[in-house]
Amino acid sequence: MLACLGPLSISFYTPAMPIIAKELQVSSSMIGLSLTIFLMTFGFSQLISGSISDYKGRRPVILISLILYFIGSMFCIVSSNIDLLMVGRFLQGVGAAGCVVLARALIFDLYAGQEAAKLINLTSLILIVAPAMAPFFGGLLLESASWRSVFIVLCLLSLCSFLVVYVFLQETLAPEMKHKSNEKSVSVYISIIKRRGFLFPILSIGLITASVYTLSTALPFIIIDRFHVSPVNYGLMMMSQAGSFGISTFLTRKLLTKWNGVVIARIGYVVVSIGAVIYFIQFGLIDVSPALLIVGLSFLAFGNAMVNPGMIAQGFSYTPDARGAASALLGTFQIGGGFIGSLSVTSLFDDYTHAVTTVIPMLIFLSFLLFRLSNKQTTLECNRSEERKGFK
């Protein structure tokens, strides 16, 4: 429930964006900005939540985050203008940040290595399948009720999550792992970022995830507005993303029992590269079509599921002393990349189609470069370790 709250706040909302723009009498770019604000606060608030949880514990931070999300949802429900909606989305972003970052931290409090990779794989399935199915159900809501019903559902979900956490969740952070204070939180983040073994793999998966969030901003306006597809049919098309990610997650989980996660990630990069090529060739080479846009997204989702577990486990192996902060940085890089991608398509391009056919291939190319640097860094450190053992 905690892991899917943030992504649901994006994908459940996207089918309603064109409708909200018309009712509030604002431009599509302005409504796109409401999603960008959510991504910004969702991404960067994770740094605060992760740091606080390393010295106050996971449970209290989760409860406060859910309260903030509930209040933000109420603002969205009663909003009669774009300003109130922006405030609501801001508070939702802050609240969702604490939930998502600590859902990951709970896993690394209790597990490590391949076992942690398997659980991250399962969490990744929740993170993609739930929001990928959400546009369909969001479309059904929009056909029978106001766009405010979307936020009513999110409000109820946060309330249910609060009750479950309050009643059932015990503190998972061991007392001896709690930091004395947060005075050194900035130095902790700087220390983690300096660890290239953590930085390169986490940045690489952050850029892949950013490509998916960037598409969440642009695709509703391309498919619903330009090609006049209904919100329900748009939701059905987006379910292919869930299907491809689900199949890939199942396959990856099986492969993790036999292969190293990094080896699986190499295969995943081949798949996401195919998705990037599909978007690139629609930049003036062939006509853009909703089918090709969705096929490209499916390749990105399939490859993403193969890349994430191994790269996350590899990166977190370098941060046993500050997993809350490391989880926060992971989320910040993922959502921060989505924020930059979303902002670029809404502000730098007049046409959403040209935006995605330019930005998506660029994000995947940069991600692959960081993946290569990650492999080189790991090999270098392994060689140094062997040299030290030989010296001893």
CATH number of the structural domain spanning residue 234: 1.20.1250.20
Give me the pLDDT at residue 133, please.
74
Decide if 310 is inside a domain. Answer: yes
pTM, two decimals, is 0.69
Distance CA 13, CA 85 (A): 12
Give me the pLDDT at residue 391, please.
41
Kindly state the helix (H) or strand (E) to which residue 279 belongs, with its residue range.
Answer: helix 261-280
* Closest residue by Cα to residue 14 from 244, 225, 209: 225
**What residues have CB less than 8 Å from 310, skipping those under 6 apart?**
117, 256, 260, 261, 262, 263, 264, 265
By three-state DSSP, how is residue 162 classified?
helix
Give me the pLDDT at residue 64, please.
95
Q: Tokens for 331, please give them.
A: 């989320």
Show the domain range for 146: 2-170+184-391
Decide if 345 is inside a domain. Answer: yes
**What residues have CB less than 8 Å from 134, skipping those under 6 apart?**
8, 11, 12, 235
Q: Tokens for 364, please give them.
A: 């995947």
Decide if 179 is inside a domain. Answer: no
- The pLDDT tens digits of the residues spanning 253-279 come to 888 888 888 889 899 999 999 999 999
Give me the pLDDT at residue 158, please.
94
Total number of domains constituting the chain: 1
286 phi-psi bin (left φ>0, alpha ψ -120 to 50, beta other): beta
Distance CA 334, CA 49 (A): 15
Q: What is the CA radius of gyration of the chain?
A: 20
Decide if 87 is inside a domain. Answer: yes
Return the ∠ at Cα 74 (arms to 71 and 79), rounded to 5°: 130
Decide if 175 is inside a domain. Answer: no
- The pLDDT tens digits of the residues spanning 282-313 come to 876 777 788 888 899 899 989 988 888 888 87
Q: Within 13 Å of residue 226, how many CA atoms lie on the same side as its CB?
A: 15
57 phi-psi bin (left φ>0, alpha ψ -120 to 50, beta other): left
Decide if 178 is inside a domain. Answer: no
* Closest residue by Cα to residue 93 from 375, 356, 345, 342: 342
In the predicted model, residues of the chain with pLDDT beneath 50 are 181, 386, 388, 391-392
